[in-house]
A = this chain, B = another copy of it.
């Protein structure tokens, strides 16, 4: 053993310790050229005082950076845990093979030109992965910037830029190497430290999902930050984050939202498929990931979560020494969905006890320009002990007589006395340097230069608190389901090539999952239609079957409110004749009983090639369609998902009796959404499903599915080797 350090307590059995906690590192491609990446990595490892042995490898040198250099990995006399590989692309597979043969456990491949370059690069990446798998190694990259672990027991700075992250409690994953540098520099400037940093590059082996699971058990990591450009296995991501986010906050930026950004994403890390941004939003929300829009916001949120508890509610008290700043802070809070309620009479009285008469004590609390550091401390303790306050924002503008450092110290002192019951943030407007934290020992208070980022970060944390407060729910079972029958039905449809199912099969498929459609009988002739209508004995709807016709009503292929055999027969005949004149062939009819009036809704499914089934629910009708009142969730659905979906709709108040109107059967709608979700989850070959309209009847009367369409097909084959679907 090159050193006597014992292997640290293993937090993870997936082999990631080889990456994060190696006892020895080979730098393959170490170089004496001061502008080369190999030299920079070696230099960074030495300068950061890696707590283990470093072995430069380079056939053309005997010494690099004062260290003995080896011609190849096999020549190193001691065991090597990790190899950082920076040789030219065409040599990487060979080096990996050598590593595997000599018992190296992990490799970090910095070299680029693999899948992201396409063609030969993609082929080489596949060969590289085969080596890694064959030798049961783990790999970061290729095409990455490196790995950092600030744990003093490891002290590894295995990346090639001149910026070293501070030590701290953030685990950071970046899918972009170049941006990773900017991220480290920015975090340093804010005084935010990292437990570890990984530039994942092409994610050929180690993915975000692996790292999240590693950080789950890493005691030094309190907050997980992700900069993502693509997903490997989002369903696995959802499963893992749902669990991990209950222990440690996960904050993510997912870029590539725009068409142009997507264009660049594809060529950038070679991610073959992106997906709609709305689906990403849904994925994050369902799995408790805090999504932020920008890197700046990610750090704002991280500064809060790394230092303060998750807030228990949304009631904010704002303290300030200058009215304008208090107004801006209150505006910002309410703008981001937080409340700034008037403080209780007791709290106001306690504040007035020591504040000047002209001060405002209602909230925002304006302590006036004369406020001393001690006033800040007292006020924080008073409002912080008010049970009706969940968070305190202490905002300060520099007056003449008070040193802001003294105010900062008092804010921290008072925060310590709150013992973590209430979240405290500070805003130091106009202070040079913008410290991200005020700190004294273990007590730290995040600090922001303006009210808006503070309020936004707090709002994200409050939202996360709400997610945490709602107990996890398993996917709700849907009793009475005849799964095998449904699978067999779809299998028969696939056997004849898939596509849209005919109406009777559609109804049968839905029926297998307990989803009743309005009784729909097929008629082959006008006479047939008349006979069926007579049997139904109620007012009926007659619809012409015209393969490929989407907007039936507009084409005149739907007639409502018909009564009796004679009328139906005549209308069917007329419809056929009229459409024939328009060049449209009616191949048959369906007859349904008329449905009473109700709320017109739609429930549907689309199959996302990466995310799987996405269930949608929305208000129906043309006008509402324009206003896009739709909510979506990824299958499988929990009862909570379904309840939230319906309640998110802007038109939701109509269900509960809007303006003295009727109340509608919400339970029936929820049951349909739940069962549709279960069906889509069960049978991934359902590529599209549309229940439109679903007429939700007055309370207690159920819901009627008037029209249903289902398209089945083989889901896209697994992506080519090298493209990522694993996590």
Contacts and interface: CB of A to CB of B under 8 A. Distances in A.
B431 A185 contact: yes
Interface stretch (A5-13, A16-24, A316-324, A439-447): A316-324
Contacts of A175: 324
Nearest to A325: B179
A554 to B, nearest CB: 5
A328 B117 CA distance: 21
B622 A366 contact: no
A242 B332 CA distance: 28
A40 to B, nearest CB: 6
A227 interface: yes
Contacts of A452: 293-294, 296
A629 B627 CA distance: 8
A133 interface: no
A323 B258 contact: no
Contacts of A295: 328, 450
A152 interface: no
Given A160-B400, A175-B324, A321-B178, A260 B431 contact: no
Contacts of A621: 623
A72 to B, nearest CB: 26
A334 to B, nearest CB: 3
Contacts of A364: 260-261, 263-264
Contacts of A258: 330-331, 333-335, 340
Nearest to A398: B181
Contacts of A609: none
B400 A178 contact: no
B659 A554 contact: yes
Contact of A626 (B263, B318, B401, B650): B650
A450 B326 CA distance: 27
Contact of A650 (B181, B362, B431, B627): B627
Nearest to A296: B450
Contacts of A160: 400
Interface in A269-327: 269, 293-296, 318, 321-327
A398 B331 contact: no
Nearest to A118: B358
A275 to B, nearest CB: 14
A229 interface: yes
Interface in A250-264: 253, 255-261, 263-264
B622 A624 contact: no
Contact of A653 (B229, B263, B430, B626): B626
A549 interface: no
A558 interface: no
Contact of A327 (B161, B268, B294, B327): B268
B335 A229 contact: no
A554 B162 CA distance: 72
A660 interface: yes
Nearest to A253: B328
Contacts of A654: 622-623, 626
A133 to B, nearest CB: 27
Interface string A341-354: 11000000000000
A56 to B, nearest CB: 19
Contacts of A330: 258, 260-261, 263-264
Given A117-B358, A264-B366, A324 B229 contact: yes
A661 interface: yes
Contact of A400 (B35, B227, B269, B342): B35
Among A179, A340, A653, the one with the most B-chain Cβ atoms within 10 Å of its Cβ is A179
A330 B269 CA distance: 16
Contacts of A227: 324
Given A178-B399, A399-B178, A259 B324 contact: no
Contacts of A322: 176-179
A256 B331 CA distance: 6
A117 B658 CA distance: 45
Interface in A607-629: 619, 621-624, 626-629
Contacts of A658: 622, 626
Interface of A: 35, 37, 40, 113, 117, 160-163, 174-179, 181-186, 189, 227, 229, 253, 255-261, 263-265, 267-269, 293-296, 318, 321-328, 330-335, 340-342, 358, 360, 362-364, 366, 369, 397-401, 429-432, 449-453, 551, 554, 619, 621-624, 626-629, 650-651, 653-654, 658-661
19 contacts: A113-B358, A161-B400, A176-B323, A176-B325, A178-B322, A178-B369, A179-B397, A182-B325, A185-B398, A229-B324, A229-B327, A258-B340, A260-B318, A261-B326, A264-B330, A268-B366, A293-B335, A294-B452, A619-B623
Given A178-B323, A182-B325, 19 more contacts: A174-B324, A178-B324, A178-B369, A179-B322, A182-B398, A189-B432, A260-B330, A260-B364, A261-B328, A267-B362, A267-B366, A294-B452, A296-B450, A296-B453, A619-B623, A623-B651, A626-B653, A627-B627, A628-B650
